[in-house]
Structure 1
């Protein structure tokens, strides 16, 4: 395989967790390293992602990145970001000089300083966009302007993301790059049922996502309440901790669980790192996002683990789930229809297994690590 032409890359990423965006960044680092690049990574905080990056023999710098968050969309927040921006630029300059960087790689729209710094220093800038931002319009137009004039290449993770940004500015030069993961199925003797003390015939329906209003935890519980009324041998598994600043959502979810008498049916595991093991133990995986999820990593992971996927019908999910073959698509705002859609999967074990098998085939055909690697190298060599 041809190596990437640009060999000294500074990647900027706004978080240090191990959720979807961080996993995408981690896979990107692996590919760049495997193809002859020297990669330095700048993060805004310490966390589990740091250990993973260091294991790839990549330097990690913890610096202010002036991350864009909605909580800063006020006068006090703007002053805060202005100070952080100046500090971030100084730190990027220090790192770039120290490591002789020729390319800035911004992973997610949460980091904008890379665009300004690369423009100022006449470095190449790649922007890997993982988001479908609903608005406001001024913010969309500002991002589109930066993508057009401050980036040499814009990579998006799905056709849904590409379509979204082209509606903002049709002149954007966008490359669609599906994520691809090398996933080793969990093969140990332990299982989630053993951990929780559940019988082997206990049906497990689960979702994995950071706790956030748009990720659909409350919608998942609404669906669970309806399914519980019809079926009694089901447990509903929720995995994920709260995004900083949204911890209050835990109290809301607990209230929903109490109001719907789901205390004995719902198992909240919180933050976990053994995602493959959990997915291997599930019978059905549900992605209940109520806003368009660009290309949810957990769907790929569930399919790779041979699980049928039920996902809301927007964002990147319709590109991932082959309708009626690897899973089902449900409305994002009608729990009754969603619950009825899941009925056949609950009642027919062979249907679950067949959809799971076809999901594994689809991951290998469309979302493989090899394809991701080849396409990323081609994109990087085009700038």
Structure 2
């Protein structure tokens, strides 16, 4: 490290910096850090300095031997990463505190000899919750309702509220640093040993991986003779970013998932089609939604006294159709449709560039549509309550479309492109409209139809809510998950169903 970097450390951490620097130096594993943070490896430079000055603050783990975020979660309130490092090195390790902590859950169901226990591995944990994280909570809730015990394993504890939610629907939560698999790279032996220890300690009957981006849990499961269920929520052939992150081709990603799984649990028929010629056993378990909370979102009451409010929600990046959304706003102006277009999601470089370009080109123009960035909202109900119509204009195939389902649950009609899994959710002419991929003018046409027919707007919203409840509600999800589990555990699932039926 250079003198300038040390001065930065002093400014960030004050008098604690020498103690922090010493502790990080003793805990840091350069090879593991670079392997699990390919962006840092690509930049070059001093890996240790990055971990000390940036990685800790960003929630990155330093080594397979310890979870800094997991150890910090032990504090009340949770400690900051720098505090956790200092506490562990200068105090906790001498007191025998675990560097890879386990936290008890609140699932107090009595354990039975025949009770199925799954070790469920999350693919990532960040400061924000997105579709995969919410879907994992839904899966855990359904498994709990089926009487299946779960122990959850997460790669970090950087989101304490998310860990609290995981503990609420599981028997316990383990924090073990691990990263995504990359073709040609082997998992670290310490990571494999840690996973093996927790699987043996938890007496898990199977491993349930919440994504096809992991490898280590499946490798250990094979060692122990445990079956592996991989919940696939990705369509590699249409996700070049994912393939790049995994250093593989779409065919390689699919083959990897098939090789490392005994059962593929997929979230749509569209996703199932990606594996139709592989010979792998596949069970469809669509994403679900708890309608009890969504009934509180007021149904649409169209108001002709204000502009129609149209929203696009989710990751605000190019492949989600940002340019199409802006073009839609402009097209509606040319059609004479009074509309305001809202973007809900975190700020991104793609969004900044798009809005900056729009400001420069259209500074003096009065014929452009109104586009507003409303920021990230923790609860999508808050965003949807403010909208009349939701659009999905993704330029990559959605494997499901969680924001579409949430819009339906909120009784908002949806206009989307007719590809990927979206036609499995949106019924054209009944719960919304579908348009050919990239046909912004057709999307604008359907928006105009809704703007000119308030009764249709409201009726489509009601139909969407009914469809969400009937096909994607809690009972439907429980039935689909029970059927999937029965593929590997027919005796256990039969007993679970009989037990639930007698309650």
TM-score by length of 2: 0.65
Q: Distance in 2 between matches of 1:30 and 1:109?
A: 21
8 Å CA contact 1:312–1:331 kept in 2: the answer is yes
8 Å CA contact 1:208–1:239 kept in 2: the answer is yes
Aligned to 1:154: 264
1:344 matched to 2:453: no
Counterpart among 123, 132, 135 of residue 14 in structure 1: 123
1:170 matched to 2:278: yes
Q: Distance in 2 between matches of 1:131 and 1:254?
A: 29
Q: Distance in 1 between matches of 2:409 and 2:402?
A: 11
8 Å CA contact 1:115–1:146 kept in 2: the answer is no
Deviation at 1:105, TM superposition (A): 0.7
Q: CA RMSD in A?
A: 2.9
Relative distance call for 1:357 and 1:199 in structure 2 (3 A) is closer
Deviation at 1:162, TM superposition (A): 0.9
Of structures 1 and 2, the larger Rg is shown by: 2
Residues 169-221 of structure 1: per-residue CA shift (max 9 Å, x gap) = 331211112222113226489x9xxxxxx997342100111223322223212
Q: Distance in 1 between matches of 2:231 and 2:391?
A: 26
1:30 matched to 2:131: no
TM-score by length of 1: 0.84
Relative distance call for 1:156 and 1:57 in structure 2 (3 A) is closer
Aligned to 1:182: 290
8 Å CA contact 1:8–1:102 kept in 2: the answer is yes
Q: Distance in 1 between matches of 2:378 and 2:454?
A: 28
Secondary structure at 1:51's aligned position in 2? helix
1:133 matched to 2:243: no
Relative distance call for 1:260 and 1:158 in structure 2 (3 A) is farther
8 Å CA contact 2:333–2:368 kept in 1: the answer is no
Unaligned runs of 5+ in 2: 1-111, 489-503
Q: Distance in 2 between matches of 1:173 and 1:241?
A: 37
Aligned to 1:114: 217
8 Å CA contact 1:147–1:172 kept in 2: the answer is no
8 Å CA contact 1:307–1:359 kept in 2: the answer is yes
Deviation at 1:4, TM superposition (A): 12
Moved more, 355-364 or 35-44: 35-44
Aligned to 2:485: 380
Counterpart among 339, 344, 361 of residue 234 in structure 1: 339
Aligned to 1:248: 349
Aligned to 2:473: 368
Moved more, 199-208 or 93-102: 199-208
The answer to which structure, 1 or 2, has the higher relative contact order (CA under 8 A, 6+ apart) is 1
Q: Distance in 1 between matches of 2:151 and 2:372?
A: 39
Deviation at 1:339, TM superposition (A): 1.6
Aligned to 1:102: 205
Moved more, 137-146 or 283-292: 137-146
Relative distance call for 1:114 and 1:228 in structure 2 (3 A) is farther
Deviation at 1:164, TM superposition (A): 1.8
Structure 1 stretches of at least 4 aligned residues deviating more than 6 Å after TM superposition: none
Q: Distance in 1 between matches of 2:275 and 2:357?
A: 36
Q: Distance in 2 between matches of 1:5 and 1:381?
A: 14
